[in-house]
Amino acid sequence: MKRFFQPVPKEGSPAKKRPVSTDSGADASAAGEEPRKFVTWNANSLLLRMKNDWPVFCDFVSRVDPDVICVQEVRMPAAGSKGSPKNPSELKDDTSSSREEKQVVLRALSTPPFKDYCVWWSLSDSKYAGTAMIIKKKFEPKKISFNLDRTSSKHETDGRVIVAEFESFLLLNTYAPNNGWKEEENSFQRRRKWDKRMLEFVQQVDKPVIWCGDLNVSHEEIDVSHPDFFISAKLNGYIPPNKEDCGQPGFTLSERRRFSNILSQGKLVDAYRYLHKEKDMDCGFSWSGHPIGKYRGKRMRIDYFIVSEKLEDRIVSCEIHGRGKEREGFYGSDHCPVSLEFSEAGPEPKSSN
């Protein structure tokens, strides 16, 4: 089969020129046009979605027609044989099973509407975590990075970050680590370290940011369906020693306070809440608990588009595309897609002063 994926440019260098199609708008990058329509989705195993739910997701993509699709929880292993260094930018294909799985992905991404896109991967060593960024071919990023420092050639652990630089903004796709339930399992420390690095990133960027993905935090009580349930949640009766770490991972007071600080210090706006001020019990949550069991009907908004204040006037829409406790519009995942649309850029961005 003809190779579908294009080489990833070296860090710090412009993206290598690719052949572009001859359809109208194919020279958008040359004309200075930039992406304005975005989708983020935690697929909870992209391979499984491609095997079981791809036609309906393709219908969704055709309908929304995003310029960029950011995916989390790809759960496809990086290239490289056992015991050898891995290449997180390429899919594993050194065994018969991994080659078959790669062919499933190649076929899915080579048919409409995805034949009009290019894809970049940041993958874990195993079927865990991982991210992908799928960009229409007509929009050429200046640079693609896979690390929050944007200077290292290394990928973040578990493939949790992809950054695309365009002329007037950075697009950041992240899959934040879950806070976990217990201090002694080091998950609290891992999440604190992640939040510290995110704070440093948003304080140091030199362009406006569009930050999207599964951020694994519900900011306010309005962002969960049953606040009392999530505040009092425990795992096997365990109560962390620090009261601020108690409750459902993603809704602990410590996580929510750190997230507030990141937004404040980074001069960032929650695009969905910017437009939707009231709680929506039907369509206001991006994650939904399993339809069977104690989490049935328990929902959280943990998938976001966060944008720099300089970009807030360009927000046209930000929508959560799933609804209800039966996970309508989730396409087989426990998360549903979230979309953002911008208006065309004006002559000058809004001043943050």
Active site residue 53: no
The Cα 220–Cα 230 span in angstroms is 12
Active site residue 313: no
Cα torsion 257, 164, 111, 88: sign: negative
DSSP 158: G
CA atoms within 13 A on the CB side of 188: 18
Spell out the residues 6+ positions from residue 80 whose beta carbon is closer than 8 angstroms to its own: 86, 87, 92, 94, 125
Scanning the structure block, which residue is given the tokens 């040359």?
A: 30
Q: Is the peptide bond before 291 cis (omega within 30 degrees of 0)?
A: no
| Residue 145 contacts residue 40 (beta carbons within 8 Å) | no
The Cα 237–Cα 240 span in angstroms is 10
Strand partners for 129 = none
Give the CA radius of gyration of the chain. Answer: 20
Catalytic residue from among 117, 175, 304, 331: 175
The Cα 148–Cα 15 span in angstroms is 18
The Cα 141–Cα 14 span in angstroms is 8
Catalytic residue from among 214, 223, 245, 303: 214
CA atoms within 13 A on the CB side of 187: 14
Catalytic residue list: 175, 214
